Amino acid sequence: MKDVKILAIESSCDETAAAVVLNGREVLSNVISSQIDIHTLYGGVVPEIASRKHTERINRVVSEGLLQAGLKLSDVDAIAVTYGPGLVGALLVGVSFAKGLAFASGKPLIGVHHIEGHICANFIDHPELEPPFPCLVVSGGHTHLVRVMDYGKYEILGKTRDDAAGEAFDKVARAIGLGYPGGPKIDKVSDAGDPAAIEFPRAKVADNIYDFSFSGLKSAVLNYLNSARMEGIEVSQADVAASFQASVVDVLTEHAYAALEEGGEKIFAIAGGVASNRHLRKAFEEGCEKRGIKFYRPEPIYCTDNAAMIGAAAYYEFKNGVRSDMSLNAVPNLKLGER
């Protein structure tokens, strides 16, 4: 098959992004325009503002994506776009723009699942990685332990019953005064803290050992802060951050090792914004090495939202003949494995 260049667009949350990806594995350009500075003022993503900013920026971001790849629209083989899950108004900006481009250029259009994109970020710069393999997806909206059976085929082993891992990071960060976005801040502040200072719970879900629950952990942190305040005990932000993070890392790694043991696989991957957490990466690097498991993780820039991962996922859809038409719409609660 001849080389396939896909122009990919991502606008599901607060990053407006465009990328060109060659054969699903090689990134020719990766442009990300983050809105974090604006949403920080409000302590979280404001959907209306996100949509407006995407609208303002998408044209320039996509042009820049082509420019940095040294290509014109007529040089690409297909146009891919995230159509769910995510914020409906934000998704619609990318979907409408991609439809317009596809219509005007006559190029095929491919709608991509955002979480599938996160998983496929592992293919970037890892030519040897192929399904099947188990993957832990940990983002702001999702915590899924899946088995990637084939390209585009997933078996969900477990997922969160309440908060996503990234959501827990964001909520705890707010409670200890770190602000938005919480994950990267806790990651950094915890360097100065003691992960064993406070014993926070490591939740298990009784009827499915692969399911997660983080709301109890979040409540435990809030209770700790309230009790300390009432008793006049000084709270160490770094100790709370490090102890909370240690609990999340323990839960995520234990679930993953249980699945690996049952499945007997010797490879494992992580994906999503929380996968950029240095402590989680280190825990998996050490734990997988001890167990003789080859551990894959995308570069941090491909863990948080980006369009290169959408271009990687779209390549396999393209090869399988999957095409979207002009009826493609934003699906805010699209499930993994659905089309």
Where along the sequence are the contacts to ligand KG4 (CB under 6 A)? 13, 139-141, 166-167, 169-170, 181-184, 187, 272-274, 276-277, 304-305
Q: Which is nearer to ligand KG4, 36 or 196 (CB)?
A: 36
Q: Which is nearer to ligand KG4, 32 or 66 (CB)?
A: 32
Tokens 């702001």 sit on residue: 140
Retrieve residue 77's tokens.
């083989």
Helical ranges in the chain per DSSP H: 36-40, 47-69, 88-105, 114-120, 165-175, 182-189, 215-231, 237-263, 278-291, 300-303, 308-319
How do strand 15-22 and strand 26-34 relate by DSSP bridges? antiparallel
CB of 174 to ligand KG4, least distance (A): 11
169 binds, among ligand KG4, Zn ion, none (CB under 5 to 8 A by kind): ligand KG4
Query: How far is Cα 20 from Cα 41, in angstroms, rounded to an integer?
Result: 32
Beta-carbon contacts of 195 under 8 Å, excluding residues fewer than 6 positions away, are: 242, 243, 245, 246
Tokens 């709301």 sit on residue: 215
170 binds, among ligand KG4, Zn ion, none (CB under 5 to 8 A by kind): ligand KG4
Within 126-145, which residues bind Zn ion (CB under 5 A)? Answer: 139
89 binds, among Zn ion, ligand KG4, none (CB under 5 to 8 A by kind): none
Site string for Zn ion, 269-308 (x = CB under 5 A): ------------------------------------x---
CB of 44 to ligand KG4, least distance (A): 10
Q: Phi, psi at residue 131, to the nearest 5°?
A: -65, 155
Binding of residue 167 to Zn ion (CB under 5 A): no
Q: Which is nearer to ligand KG4, 65 or 141 (CB)?
A: 141
Q: Phi, psi at residue 2, to the nearest 5°?
A: -70, 165
187 binds, among Zn ion, ligand KG4, none (CB under 5 to 8 A by kind): ligand KG4
Count of residues near Zn ion by CB under 5 A:
2
* DSSP helix/strand/coil, 79: strand
Query: How far is Cα 115 from Cα 333, in angstroms, rounded to an integer?
Result: 11
Question: Contact positions toward Zn ion, by CB under 5 A?
Answer: 139, 305
